Homo-oligomer: A and B are copies of this chain.
Amino acid sequence: MPVKNGKQYIERINKHLPDVRIAGEQVKGAISEHKAFKGLMTTQASMYDMQQDERWKATMSYSSPLTCDPVGLSFMQPKTKKELAARRKMMQTWAYTHHGFLGRAPDYMNTAIMAFSAAAGLLEEETPQYASNLRRYYEYCRENDITLSHVFIQPKAGRLSTFLKTFEEPVAARVMEKNKDGIVIRGAFLLDTQGATSDEILVFPAPFPSVSTEESPYTFAFAVPSNLPGVRFICRESFVGGESAYNYPLSSRFEEMDTLVIFDDALVPWDRVFICGNENLAFRLINESRFHTHASAQIMCKNIAKTEFLLGTIETMIEAAGLDSHDHMIEKVTEVILALETLKALQLAAEKGASPDRWGSMLPNRKPLLAANAYFPKIYPRMIEIIQLIGGSGLIMIPEEKDFDTDISGQLNRYLKGIDLDAKANVQLSRLAWELSVSAFGGRQSVYERFFFGNSTTVNNRLYNGYKGRETFKNRVRDFLS
């Protein structure tokens, strides 16, 4: 199957429905009709539709090197700056359809699996079979337009910090058994966003430290269909406010469900195993594939679209309130403008500064991207705070769509209008601002952005350790002083 459309996306997910639990119930029937998933799947279907739409086709796909079929462009390994630009254009196009509210739009994992596969050579020497498993899996995803989710982290109970407090046997995920058919996995993984609505899942946890210098049962990487026996997805509460796009402009469309994934002695077949036992190799694959660099280039498109959306919202709010010439409002708007210009400039710098890596990829310059990863978690909550500061009580006292259909609509029309906005449009704007800055949907977005690539210590260390060339500056100071 070449690039799929929305219908195909939905049909495949519905057909292979995995074991999904939500609020004490197991999802039965078409998950695309379930109120917790419907809006998101509709949005994502419309994105897949763009792949077959004449207007977007050329932007969204490229010719498969294997079959010459059109396949998703975010699967493409970029070999030139031109290809890098094509990737950016593709990813930015999708980002403008979800305005940055999808942290796991399909191009995220498409990019990830491309990055890992390109670096499969790392695995070659030790276990050539794993290298070829990884490469074939990438091709399988690309040629079948697989919707993929992933898990990297484990619950706190499975981490070293807990072990060091309790000295109890850790519940960290591990290989229970290796047999002729594959490896048997037991453990839980956190925050599989869109896990319940994906075809497959990539499992690649940060290994729990092993005393063994040989083979660690805590180290592995693999991918399996989401409906593999022994795999279960437990959802958090749904933050879809309701179906009305007037009342819930964001959550009715963009609520990505997060799940806890449990592997209960699930059997992973050998041809889907990429790493097993070698802790050092696991760390190297993450680092040397430059997964974070490639993924950051995708996320940059998302973050720019989101910042532009917030800027547009904020400017619309202050105009509707008649505050667009107040210095303290201008100060707040310019904070957002500064954030946007910064992100756009860092994106440009990453692309202009790209250079080929040893895997044959044209790798964007890491420095501006890793810097952006440290920047966005600081500025996103501040932009949301700005919405609260501008919105004030207007973020609390908001009627709903249905109120306009009753005998009180005249009163609402009279009292709730804005400058150049009738009451219904003004209230709708408030509902958008409310979803962004007050609702559970908005709250989850804030937490998600804060921790997107890890906590601040992790993100800072990644930037610090990846910052090549700093000797220049120290030498300049040394020369100056001598």
Question: A interface vs B, CB < 8 Å?
Answer: 21, 23-25, 96, 99, 153, 155-158, 161-162, 164-166, 171, 188, 190-191, 232, 234-237, 241, 247, 249, 258-260, 262, 264, 308-309, 311-313, 315-316, 319, 321-323, 327-328, 330-331, 333-334, 337-338, 341-342, 344-346, 348-349, 352, 367-368, 371, 374-375, 381, 385, 388-389, 391-403, 405-406, 408, 411-412, 414-419, 425, 428-429, 432, 437-440, 442-444, 446-448, 450-451, 455-457, 460-461, 463-464, 467, 470, 472-478, 480-481
Question: Given known contacts A165-B419, A232-B408, what 16 new A-B pairs fall within 8 Å (CB)?
Answer: A156-B321, A161-B321, A161-B322, A162-B322, A166-B322, A237-B247, A260-B397, A260-B415, A312-B470, A315-B470, A327-B328, A331-B457, A345-B348, A381-B388, A393-B447, A437-B443
Max chain B CB contacts within 10 Å: which of A24, A472, A473? A473
List chain B residues, Cβ under 8 A from A438: 440, 443-444, 446-447
List chain B residues, Cβ under 8 A from A451: 392-393
Write the chain B residue with the least CB distance to A464: B330
Which of B316, B396, B398 contacts A477 (CB under 8 A)?
Answer: B316
List chain B residues, Cβ under 8 A from A406: 21, 24
**A480 CA to B313 CA in the complex, in Å?**
11
Instruction: Tell me what chain A mostly uses at the interface: helix, strand, loop, or mixed.
Output: helix
Question: Does A398 contact B236, Cβ atoms closer than 8 Å?
Answer: yes
Write the chain B residue with the least CB distance to A450: B388
**A437 CA to B448 CA in the complex, in Å?**
13
**A396 CA to B451 CA in the complex, in Å?**
11
Write the chain B residue with the least CB distance to A186: B414
List chain B residues, Cβ under 8 A from A477: 309, 312-313, 316, 432
List chain B residues, Cβ under 8 A from A389: 450
**A323 CA to B371 CA in the complex, in Å?**
22
List chain B residues, Cβ under 8 A from A156: 321-322, 394, 418
Write the chain B residue with the least CB distance to A346: B345
**A100 CA to B226 CA in the complex, in Å?**
45
**A111 CA to B412 CA in the complex, in Å?**
32
**A258 CA to B395 CA in the complex, in Å?**
11
- Distance in angstroms from A100 CB to nearest chain B CB is 11
Question: Does B474 contact A316, Cβ atoms closer than 8 Å?
Answer: yes
Max chain B CB contacts within 10 Å: which of A161, A338, A375? A338
Question: Does B375 contact A338, Cβ atoms closer than 8 Å?
Answer: yes
Which of B371, B396, B440 contacts A439 (CB under 8 A)?
Answer: B440
Q: With A153-B393, A234-B412, A394-B156 as given contacts, are A425 and B342 in contact (CB-CB < 8 Å)?
A: no
List chain B residues, Cβ under 8 A from A236: 396-399
- Distance in angstroms from A221 CB to nearest chain B CB is 20
Question: Does B425 contact A190, Cβ atoms closer than 8 Å?
Answer: no
**A374 CA to B309 CA in the complex, in Å?**
21
Q: With A156-B394, A260-B415, A322-B165 as given contacts, are A249 and B481 in contact (CB-CB < 8 Å)?
A: yes
List chain B residues, Cβ under 8 A from A418: 156-157
List chain B residues, Cβ under 8 A from A352: 348, 352
**A328 CA to B330 CA in the complex, in Å?**
13
Q: With A418-B156, A418-B157, A419-B165 as given contacts, are A190 and B397 in contact (CB-CB < 8 Å)?
A: yes
Question: Does B446 contact A402, Cβ atoms closer than 8 Å?
Answer: no
Q: List 13 A-B contacts (CB under 8 A).
A: A23-B400, A24-B405, A166-B419, A171-B415, A232-B411, A249-B480, A315-B474, A316-B477, A330-B457, A331-B457, A342-B345, A344-B368, A438-B443
**A345 CA to B346 CA in the complex, in Å?**
5
Which of B258, B264, B345 contacts A397 (CB under 8 A)?
Answer: B258
Q: With A341-B346, A341-B367, A411-B264 as given contacts, are A403 and B476 in contact (CB-CB < 8 Å)?
A: no
Q: With A322-B165, A460-B330 as given contacts, are A338 and B374 in contact (CB-CB < 8 Å)?
A: yes
List chain B residues, Cβ under 8 A from A190: 393, 397
**A411 CA to B230 CA in the complex, in Å?**
12
List chain B residues, Cβ under 8 A from A405: 24
**A398 CA to B247 CA in the complex, in Å?**
25
Which of B162, B344, B442, B460 contacts A334 (CB under 8 A)?
Answer: B460
List chain B residues, Cβ under 8 A from A171: 414-415
List chain B residues, Cβ under 8 A from A391: 447
